């Protein structure tokens, strides 16, 4: 990996995703974008007419869905190009235009739900039985479920129009973090004494250094830049959360949390039960933190020690091609067809592989009904980077299966199940690596890495979920969010989740403003799904490995189901019941078992 990020134009073709498969060039995109200008009028043509007849309703549904399918392709191209270099003004403008067109279409179609809900129940029930409407039954029933929270047509239009300025709040944070703040990050010395430019990707890599002075220098330098932006970030987060509260109250939900969970048909009790279950399992995590402290051989454990492996004799690195081969071997239990498709994708245009100047940090899977899946990653060659690639591949394969099996309006699976396939891939990869590793030190290293995955996914994301809940409740109670108050709330949670094994002296103070770098706090109660997803994935992976073809077929059916059922029902079909405490408790019990195994290996 290069220490200095390349400029986008210097990235080799084989390291880029094949966005040209969507549009061969920007001119082709412009031509298709021009066609989107007529889409709002085509959708608006059915305003006030849905109750005319079943034929009119069917035509309106087709017009609405066809328009959204068209604009999604236009939008995806622009958003992928923009994320290649967030400092590229051409693609910033293109993305803004695509987003505005998307919002204009949403505004034009804002009448649909309230008009649909105004149709007489008996008439609607009769129409639902016809051949014209039957293909849309599941989709329509979900809209009808929202009747208590749907506003009048004029109010829905205003809500749709407001989505653009409200959505700009997260864009402000993203540009500040990924462009302006990123450009000011300093360089620090790495293990060889060379200057290493701090970036969002290199920060974690430096925290994994065996040299404690490198870890501390990266921790201090990175968070020092965030400290200078705390007040601005607090104002942005305050505005973002107020937008969530506004939307919830405008629609009559009891809270922003209830509004966020409604789309997945999940009760608030599931969210609260997750936090309670993790609180109950904190003693096992404290045990793990204490073990890390002992193995690192430090008198005082600090939070810049949280990412480094505690097994010093083992270093694992993989080129991108080696990572692909390892993932391919690990996912053999998912069947020949699954492995063939994923291998082709990882090697032939799905993935934008490495960091470049201005590229969006982190990793994600994206795409639309008429595209291949696309994976953005900033691959660094570490074991974690390989797991991230496997994770995003899980999302992409979930999308691929759903698109193959479902019509457009049912292919986009819901957020609650979005993290299940990705984390199942991680569980299978970890199992494979442990199966082929006999060396005691290497096995301990892998177990520690998996325990760290629990830390990052079950414990850390639940801590994030609790922080989100607390700050939303604060705004709902009429209390403003300030930098100092957010620092205090976040630091208190970090102390609760890590326990007294961490020194929490002045060296750990910067963790108090870690909240100001977390993109997911703008995603409206998204992060809890990582934790429930991991719990579900552990159960599914275990079933596939132990129960054979029947479990695999259940899983492949799950991947192919899109949004044809509600998430909790899909998971029940796959053998996981999140309405009970069993999946989360079982995952946390597995964490405690692995802590015990690691303790035995390092004795």
Catalytic residue IDs: 392
Q: Which two tokens stand for residue 269?
A: 């009790």
Strand order in the sheet with 364-366: 351-352, 374-376, 364-366
**Residue 591 CB contacts under 8 Å (≥ 6 apart), including other chains:** 281, 284, 285, 288, 451, 454, 458
What distance in Å separates the CA atoms of residue 379 and residue 362, rounded to the nearest whole number? 9
Is beta strand 351-352 parallel, antiparallel or unpaired with respect to 374-376? parallel
3-state class percentages of the chain: helix first, strand second, coil last, to nearest 5: 70, 5, 25
Count CB neighbours of 434 within 10 A.
14
- Encode 113-146: b = buried (16+ Cβ within 10 Å), e = exposed: bbbbbeeeeeebeebeeeeebeebebbbeeebee
Q: What is the DSSP letter of 502?
A: B
**Phi, psi of 190, deg, nearest 5:** -90, -170
Q: Which two tokens stand for residue 571?
A: 């998971």
Is beta strand 195-197 parallel, antiparallel or unpaired with respect to 187-189? antiparallel
Helix axes 268-280, 460-476, angle to 10 degrees: 130
* Three-class HEC string of 352-381: ECCCECCCCCCCEEECCCCCCCEEECCCCC
Q: Please classify residue 12 by burial: count the beta carbons closer than 10 Å to its beta carbon, then call 0-12 exposed, 13-18 middle and 19+ buried.
A: exposed
Q: Which two tokens stand for residue 369?
A: 């009904």
């Amino acid at each position: 990996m290069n220490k200095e990020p390349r400029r986008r134009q210097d990235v080799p073709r084989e390291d880029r995703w094949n966005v040209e498969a969507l549009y061969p060039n920007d001119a082709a995109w412009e031509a298709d974008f021009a066609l989107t200008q007529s889409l709002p009028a085509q959708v608006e043509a059915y305003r006030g007419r849905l109750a005319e007849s079943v034929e009119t309703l069917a035509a309106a549904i087709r017009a609405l869905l066809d328009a959204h399918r068209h604009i999604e392709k236009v939008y995806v191209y622009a958003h992928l190009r923009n994320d290649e270099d967030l400092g590229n003004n051409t693609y910033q403008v293109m993305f803004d235009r695509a987003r505005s067109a998307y919002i204009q279409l949403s505004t034009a179609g804002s009448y649909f739900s309230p008009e649909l809900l105004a149709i007489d129940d008996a008439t609607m029930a009769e129409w639902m039985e016809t051949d014209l409407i039957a293909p849309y039954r599941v989709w329509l029933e979900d809209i009808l479920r929202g009747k208590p929270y749907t506003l009048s047509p004029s109010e829905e239009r205003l809500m749709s129009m407001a989505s653009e300025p409200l959505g700009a709040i997260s864009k402000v944070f993203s540009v500040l973090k990924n462009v302006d703040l990123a450009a000011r990050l300093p360089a620090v010395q790495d293990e060889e004494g060379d200057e290493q430019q701090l970036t969002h990707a290199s920060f974690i890599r430096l925290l994994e250094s065996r040299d404690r002075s490198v870890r501390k220098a990266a921790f201090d330098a990175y968070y020092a830049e965030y400290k200078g932006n705390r007040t601005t970030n607090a104002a942005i987060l305050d505005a973002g959360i107020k937008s969530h509260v506004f939307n919830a109250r405008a629609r009559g939900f009891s809270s922003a949390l209830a509004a966020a969970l409604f789309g997945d048909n999940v009760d608030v009790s599931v969210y609260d039960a997750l936090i309670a279950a993790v609180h109950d399992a904190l003693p096992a995590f404290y045990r793990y933190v204490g073990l890390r402290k002992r193995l690192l051989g430090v008198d005082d454990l600090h939070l810049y020690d949280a990412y480094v492996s505690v097994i010093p004799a083992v270093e694992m690195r993989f080129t991108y091609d080696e990572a692909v081969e390892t993932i391919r071997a690990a996912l053999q239990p998912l069947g020949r067809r699954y492995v063939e498709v994923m291998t082709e994708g990882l090697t032939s245009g799905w993935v934008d592989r490495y960091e470049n100047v201005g590229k969006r940090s982190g990793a994600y899977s994206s795409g639309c009904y008429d595209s291949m899946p696309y994976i953005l990653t900033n691959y660094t060659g570490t074991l974690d980077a390989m797991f991230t690639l496997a994770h995003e591949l899980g999302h992409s394969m979930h999308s691929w299966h759903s698109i193959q099996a479902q019509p457009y309006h049912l292919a986009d699976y819901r957020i609650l199940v979005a993290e299940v396939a990705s984390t199942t891939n991680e569980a299978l990869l970890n199992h494979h690596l442990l199966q082929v590793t006999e060396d005691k030190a290497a096995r301990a290293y892998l177990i520690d890495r998996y325990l760290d995955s629990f830390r990052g996914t079950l414990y850390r994301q639940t801590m994030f979920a609790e922080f989100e809940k607390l700050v939303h409740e604060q705004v709902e109670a009429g209390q403003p969010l300030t930098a100092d108050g957010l620092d205090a709330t976040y630091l208190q949670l970090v102390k609760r989740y890590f326990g007294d094994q961490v020194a929490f002296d002045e060296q750990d103070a910067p963790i108090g403003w870690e909240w100001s770098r977390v993109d997911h706090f703008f995603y409206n109660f998204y992060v809890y799904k990582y934790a429930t997803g991991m719990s579900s994935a552990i159960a599914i992976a275990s079933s596939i490995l132990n129960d054979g073809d029947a479990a695999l077929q259940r899983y492949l059916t799950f991947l192919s189901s899109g949004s044809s059922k509600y998430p909790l029902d899909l998971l029940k079909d796959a053998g996981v019941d999140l309405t009970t405490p069993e999946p989360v408790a079982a995952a946390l019990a597995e964490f405690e078992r692995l802590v015990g195994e690691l303790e035995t290996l390092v004795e």
